[in-house]
Amino acid sequence: MKESVKVTANAMIGLNDITLKGEIAVFGSTYMADFPLYELINRYHFENAIYNRSIKGLTTSEALEIVQDCIISIRPATIFIALGEEDENNVDAIKQYNQIIRLIQSALPKSKIYLICLQGSTPYIEKFNANILSLCDNKKILNIRFITSSSTGIDAYKAQFKQLSCFFRGKQLNMVEAFTMAN
Answer whether 38's CB lies under 8 Å from 26's CB: no
- Residue pair 89/35 in contact by the 8 Å Cβ criterion: no
Q: For the chain, what percent of residues have pLDDT higher than 70?
A: 76
Amino acid identity of residue 19, one-letter, is T
* 129 contacts 117 by C-beta, under 8 angstroms: yes
Query: In this predicted structure, what is the pLDDT of residue 113?
Result: 94
Which has more confidence, 133 or 159?
133
* Model confidence at 34: pLDDT above 90: no
What is the count of structural domains for the chain?
1
Q: Report the pLDDT value the prediction gives residue 182, as an integer from 0 to 100.
A: 46
- 157 phi and psi angles, rounded to 5 deg: -60, -45
Mean pLDDT value of segment 6-21: 95
Domain that holds residue 106: 3-182
| φ and ψ of 116, to 5 deg | -95, 120
Residue 128 sits in a domain whose CATH number is 3.40.50.1110
Sorted by sequence, the CB contacts under 8 Å of residue 43 that are 6+ apart come out as: none
